[in-house]
Amino acid sequence: MRMRTVEIGVGAFMLAGILALVVLALNVSGLKLSEQAGSYKVYARFDNIGGLRPRAKVAMSGVQIGQVKSIRIDKNLLMAEVEMEIFNDVDYLTVDSSASILTSGLLGEQYIGVVPGAEDDVLEEGAFIQDTQSALVLEELIGKFLFNKVSE
């Protein structure tokens, strides 16, 4: 009887450990079991998105206000078109807002930083952010630096 109690205790402990690992993996990967209650879609076009990925955060002043839903190529303009899902409670982004692809840390993950403008009109569902700044690609900067040194 005592051996059976020990086996049940070990099994419960293992089950709790596996459950804790699943919760940790979900938190680290950014996946959520429940979707955001309400959101609206906003789009932006960039010349170069660098290492931006779907599910990357969209932030304003360091606070997450949404996430990147999808990334595709605009076949007419040959630019990357980013679809962002902005939380419904962020209803104050104006039509002259700007979006930049930023990096957290020196070699960290990339995300979209939004700076609100001064207009009175706000972004609606399906609107485009016109003022964008592409990602800084470290390899391009190093290449330009080396090319300038060689040409001197």
| Domain range summary for the chain, segments of one domain joined by + | 1-34, 39-137
Rounded to whole angstroms, how far apart are CA atoms 102 and 121?
A: 26
Tokens of 78: 């040959």
Banded pLDDT at 37 (limits 50, 70, 90): low
Which of helix, strand or coil describes residue 96? coil
pLDDT-above-70 percentage for the chain: 89
- Give the pLDDT confidence score for residue 139 in this predicted structure: 76
Higher-confidence residue: 96 or 36? 96
Whether the per-residue pLDDT at 8 is higher than 70: the answer is yes
Q: Which residue has the higher pLDDT, 43 or 144?
A: 43
CA quadruple 83, 45, 128, 89: dihedral positive or negative? positive
Instruction: Name which residue leads in pLDDT, 48 or 149.
Output: 48
Question: Would you state the pLDDT for residue 129?
Answer: 93
Question: pLDDT tens digits for 96-150?
Answer: 999 999 988 776 789 999 999 888 888 899 999 999 998 877 777 788 888 776 6
- Residue 147 CA, distance from chain mean position: 33
pLDDT score for 146: 81
Looking at residues 26-47, what average pLDDT do you find? 77
Helix (H) or strand (E) holding 20: helix 2-29
By the 10 Å C-beta count (0-12 exposed, 13-18 middle, 19+ buried), 22 is classed as: exposed
Q: Which residues are CB-neighbours of 12 under 8 A, at least 6 positions away?
A: none
The mean pLDDT of the chain is: 86
